[in-house]
């Protein structure tokens, strides 16, 4: 039992050092390091099952101590497994945020695109082509009223400044 325990204990420490590499690994090698760590954890779990069997076969005076050591290893490996899952979850969330950000930055918000969407929605709702044409004509006329109003306001402000100063 002792050589298997020492080997498993050594693997746990190697995984702990590999966990530090996760933070500094580039995107290409990140998946490889994660897979390597997961494979080592799986191997350790199989070793732990064998160690549990062997610890139950120890002499009664050593059995309690052997089970305690195996339980401690099991706790350490579960902690490493949880740390790996947390890292993977954070990485996945970060990648998803980057994808959403890129998607938002790639969108173009134009008036024509918006108008086309409104017309598509109106068409889906069953508004007739005549009503949609009247709406477009009204929007066109409103634009000229707005420009005329802005020009009139500028002329009035100019005249007020001219005569009051």
- Residue 165: what pLDDT? 82
Helix ranges, the chain (H): 2-24, 27-56, 60-106, 111-125, 129-164
Average of per-residue pLDDT values in the chain = 86
Distance of alpha carbon 28 from alpha carbon 23, whole angstroms? 13
Q: Using pLDDT thresholds of 50, 70 and 90, give the confidence band for residue 149.
A: very high
Distance of alpha carbon 70 from alpha carbon 9, whole angstroms? 10
Percent of the chain beyond pLDDT 90?
35
């Amino acid at each position: 039992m002792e050589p298997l325990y020492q080997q498993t204990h050594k693997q746990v420490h190697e995984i702990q050092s590999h966990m530090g590499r996760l933070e500094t690994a580039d995107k290409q090698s990140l998946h490889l390091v994660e897979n390597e760590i997961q494979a080592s954890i799986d191997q350790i779990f199989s070793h732990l099952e064998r160690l549990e069997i062997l610890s139950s076969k120890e002499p009664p005076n050593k059995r309690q101590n052997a089970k305690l050591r195996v339980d401690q290893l099991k706790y350490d490996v579960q902690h490493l497994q949880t740390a790996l899952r947390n890292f993977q979850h954070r990485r996945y969330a970060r990648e998803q945020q980057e994808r959403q950000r890129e998607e938002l930055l790639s969108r173009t918000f134009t008036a024509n695109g918006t108008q086309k969407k409104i017309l598509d929605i109106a068409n889906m709702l069953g508004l007739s082509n005549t009503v949609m044409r009247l709406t477009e004509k009204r929007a066109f006329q409103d634009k000229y009223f707005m420009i005329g109003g802005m020009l009139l306001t500028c002329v009035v402000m100019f005249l007020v400044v001219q005569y009051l100063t």
